[in-house]
Amino acid sequence: MEHISAAHALTQAAATQEDPGLGNLLRVVVVVMVVGCVLVGWLLLRGYRK
C-alpha cells in the first residue's frame, strides 16, 4: 500500500474541488424535464376540459 503525505492529499482534494464535473448540468436537465412535464400535463388537462 502506497503512503500518501498529507500535503499531497490536500493538493489532490483541492484539484478535484475545482472541477465540479456534470453536477450543475444534470441539475439543470432535471429541472427542465420537471418543468416540461408540468407544462405538457397542464396543456393536456386543459384540452380535456372542453
Cβ-in-10-Å burial (0-12, 13-18, 19+) of 15 comes to: exposed
CA distance 28 to 5: 38
Domain with 44 in it: 21-50
> What pLDDT shows up at residue 1?
56
Residue 28 sits at the vertex; the CA angle it makes with 39 and 40, to the nearest 5 degrees, is 10
> What pLDDT shows up at residue 35?
97
> What pLDDT shows up at residue 8?
73
- Number of domains, the chain: 1
**pLDDT tens-digit map of 1-28:** 577 677 776 777 666 656 667 788 899 9
Does residue 1 form part of some domain? no
Does residue 30 form part of some domain? yes
Does residue 12 form part of some domain? no
Residue 34 has pLDDT above 80, yes or no: yes
Residue 38 has pLDDT above 70, yes or no: yes
> What pLDDT shows up at residue 14?
66
Does residue 28 form part of some domain? yes
